[in-house]
Amino acid sequence: MTAASWAVIIVLFLAIGWVVLIYNRLISLRNQAEEAWSDIDVQLKRRYDLIPNLVQAVKGYAKHERSVFTEVTKLRNQALTVRSPREKAQTENLISAALKSIFALAENYPILRSSENFKHLQEELADTENKIAASRRFYNTVTQQYNTAIMSFPDNILAQSLKFNERDLFEIDSPGARKTPALKL
């Protein structure tokens, strides 16, 4: 074999190695993003399981507040069918607002606030909200790394040809959720 043949073989070998490395990296990042999304789904399922219990606990004390309970239940059922991160985030923002209205409603019922069942549900829901926030941060970090990889040169050449698509972040869309609460002293 001539030197030129060896050079072609080496260049071809390096090109194939480069493609394999980039492909494996993109697959790894995509799988991490899917796993992170699955973690969010687990926490959201936990939240959805707590909502009916919370509604039942509050319902006994505030029977005339039926519209709040109907809205929370409707949003919970709607959230169970949504799959994309963008739609899920929009639905979750509505659920968070509805849950806040339930807790605000509970402020009007001192007996309810002192109920052990309600306190336990409130603590469970707060814990779940913290886990959702942590899962969302992890998902967004991994998704950002994945999106950056498929957009960066030279990885983007392979990513486009193999149909690696950009993923949506799981973001808060509600303008009120981004505001800093006012302190009342």
Q: Which CATH number goes with the domain that contains 93? A: 1.20.1440.20
When mean pLDDT is compared across 84-88, 96-100, 101-105, 135-139, the lowest value belongs to 101-105
The answer to whether residue 84 sits within a structural domain is: yes
Report residue 140's pLDDT band, with 50, 70 and 90 as the boundaries. very high
What CA–CA distance (Å, rounded) separates 112 from 16? 66
The answer to whether residue 146 sits within a structural domain is: yes
The answer to whether residue 2 sits within a structural domain is: no
Burial code of 134-169, b = ≥16 C-beta within 10 A, e = fewer?
ebbebbbebbeebbebbeeeebeebbeeeebeebee
Q: How many CB atoms lie within 10 A of CB 180?
A: 5
Nearest to 28 by CA among 155, 124, 116: 155
The answer to whether residue 175 sits within a structural domain is: no
Q: Which two tokens stand for residue 178?
A: 């981004």
Domain count, the chain: 1
Helix (H/G/I), strand (E/B), else coil: 167: coil
Report residue 64's pLDDT band, with 50, 70 and 90 as the boundaries. low
The answer to whether residue 1 sits within a structural domain is: no
Provide mean pLDDT across the span 165-178. 71
Residue 121 CB contacts under 8 Å (≥ 6 apart), including other chains: 50, 53, 54, 57
The answer to whether residue 174 sits within a structural domain is: no
Q: What is the pLDDT of residues 117-134, one digit of tens each?
A: 777 888 888 898 899 889
163: left (phi > 0), else alpha (psi -120 to 50), else beta? left
The answer to whether residue 184 sits within a structural domain is: no
The answer to whether residue 99 sits within a structural domain is: yes
In the chain, % of residues over pLDDT 70: 86
Q: What is the pLDDT of residues 29-38, one digit of tens each?
A: 999 999 999 9
Contact 88, 79 (CB under 8 A): yes
pLDDT at 184: 41
Q: Which two tokens stand for residue 19?
A: 């493609």
Q: How many helices (H) and strands (E) does the chain have?
A: 6, 0
pLDDT at 62: 64
Contacts 24+ apart (CB under 8 A), 115-123: 115/57, 115/61, 117/57, 118/54, 118/57, 118/58, 121/50, 121/53, 121/54, 121/57, 122/54
Domain assignment of residue 137, given as a range: 7-168
